[in-house]
């Protein structure tokens, strides 16, 4: 996909431009975030979404935060505002660990620079934070490419692949995580087809993955979430590839609600189940999936389709954004560092030991 999900425009006084994914596929519209509140709302309402993408957005949020202090503000005051704003941004989506990871990295870089250069000015600090955000952006682009190269061999000629939600270019700064495997396989001349789960309630598969794969000329069929088991039983699915928003130290992985059920179905039908995610999605401080916080989304996401109410008045709504797939259901986790077959705590610790 040639369109970039997000990019920084201008220098330290610039803004973050994102694709407003709430409008896809009907309209491709760019949204410019010039302050922290705008970015918070964009992340919260899923104008920008996908764990790696909101991580990169959060890093640029630190740049937006440092636009607020007046030129005569002390460095101590600027750093206090930066911490407050970054904590605020991190609260927008609690499950995806990339957001907190990127924000903490930029704040740490700012504090380290001030500590090393106590006589620096605010303009210099802003430049350092922008450079760090740009580095995170560029690293994400490269990580996506490496994930695709490391996992493309799992996509064989003639395969039918099932994916859930959207883990492509729209979810990252680069060409995606799960979908990166497909893009690399296509470059290699392989012919395959994709079944994209609709991904209720927000239809990220039907709206976003289908739109993205169409731009790339990949044979794609959208199915309702409850059709996946039938296709597996008919032998029409060869592999399942999904992304992740947080991977615990033992390999348990949180992803869009409905992923866990796919992993159970895959196991029952003997179908390989792969997760593709960058190292920034791993949270080694979280021991297992039981400790991963699960974001609860607004009831209207289930209650409404568009502006039309589909449930009776007074009915309760349960709307978790994610579920957790246990490591034992995962055939392999594909990262930019390599492939973890049958992931467990020892193997995961190993790839972070160097």
- For 285-296, give the DSSP string: T--SGGGS--PB
- 348/23 Cα distance (integer angstroms): 38
Blockwise average pLDDT, block size 10, the chain, 354 residues? 88 96 96 98 98 98 93 90 96 94 97 94 95 98 98 98 98 98 98 98 97 96 98 98 98 98 98 97 96 96 92 96 98 97 95 72
CATH of domain 151-351: 3.40.50.10470
C-alpha radius of gyration, the chain, whole number: 20
Distance separating alpha carbons of residues 295 and 269, to the nearest angstrom: 30
Q: How many CA atoms lie within 13 A of 291 on its CB side?
A: 12
Residue 354: predicted pLDDT: 54
Q: Are 241 and 274 in contact (CB under 8 A)?
A: yes
- Is the sign of the CA dihedral 100, 105, 106, 112 positive or negative? positive
Give the CA distances from residue 159 to residues 182, 192, 331, 345, in Å, rounded to whole numbers and listed in that order. Answer: 11, 5, 17, 31
Closest CA to 188 of 151, 143, 215: 151
- Give the integer Cα–Cα distance in Å for 261 and 242: 12
Q: What is the pTM of this model?
A: 0.95
Q: How far apart are CA 102 and CA 133, in angstroms?
A: 8
Pick the CATH number of 6-146 from 2.40.50.140, 3.30.460.80, 1.20.120.420, 3.20.20.70: 1.20.120.420
Which ranges in the chain are annotated with CATH 1.20.120.420? 6-146
Report CA-CA distances (Å) from 125 to 62, 116, 118, 133.
11, 11, 10, 13
Residues carrying an active site annotation: 245
Cis peptide before 201 (omega within 30 of 0): yes
- Domain(s) of CATH 3.40.50.10470: residues in the chain: 151-351
Contact at 8 Å (CB) between 35 and 15? no
């Amino acid at each position: 996909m040639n369109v970039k999900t997000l990019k920084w425009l201008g220098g330290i006084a610039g803004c973050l431009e994102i694709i407003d994914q709430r409008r896809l596929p009907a309209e491709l519209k760019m949204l410019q975030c010039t302050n922290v509140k705008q970015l918070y709302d964009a992340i919260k309402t899923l104008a920008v979404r996908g764990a790696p993408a909101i991580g990169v957005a959060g890093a640029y949020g630190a740049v937006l935060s440092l636009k607020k202090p007046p030129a005569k503000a002390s460095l101590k005051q600027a750093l206090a505002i930066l911490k407050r704003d970054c904590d605020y941004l991190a609260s927008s989506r609690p499950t995806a660990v990339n957001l907190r990871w990127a924000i903490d990295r930029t704040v740490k870089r700012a504090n380290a620079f001030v500590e090393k250069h106590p006589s620096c000015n605010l303009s210099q600090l802003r430049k350092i934070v922008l450079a760090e955000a740009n580095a995170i952006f560029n690293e994400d682009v490269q990580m996506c490419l490496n994930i695709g190269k490391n996992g493309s061999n799992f996509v064989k000629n003639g395969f039918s692949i099932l994916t859930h939600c959207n883990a492509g270019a729209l979810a990252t700064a680069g060409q995606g995580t799960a979908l990166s495997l497909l893009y690399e396989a296509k470059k290699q001349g392989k012919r395959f087809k994709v079944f994209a789960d609709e991904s209720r309630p927000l239809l990220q598969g039907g709206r976003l993955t289908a739109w993205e794969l169409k731009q790339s000329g990949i044979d794609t069929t959208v199915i309702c979430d409850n059709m996946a088991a039938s296709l597996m039983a008919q032998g029409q699915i060869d592999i399942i590839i999904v992304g992740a928003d947080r991977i615990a130290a033992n390999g348990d992985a949180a992803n869009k609600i409905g992923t866990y059920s796919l992993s159970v179905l895959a196991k029952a039908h003997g179908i390989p189940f792969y997760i593709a995610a960058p190292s920034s999605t791993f949270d080694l401080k979280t021991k297992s999936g039981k400790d991963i916080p699960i974001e609860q989304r607004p009831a209207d996401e289930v209650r409404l389709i568009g502006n039309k109410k589909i449930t009776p008045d007074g009915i309760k709504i349960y709307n978790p954004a994610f579920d957790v797939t246990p490591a034992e259901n995962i055939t392999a986790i594909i990262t930019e560092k390599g492939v973890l077959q049958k992931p467990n705590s020892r193997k995961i610790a190993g790839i972070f030991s160097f």
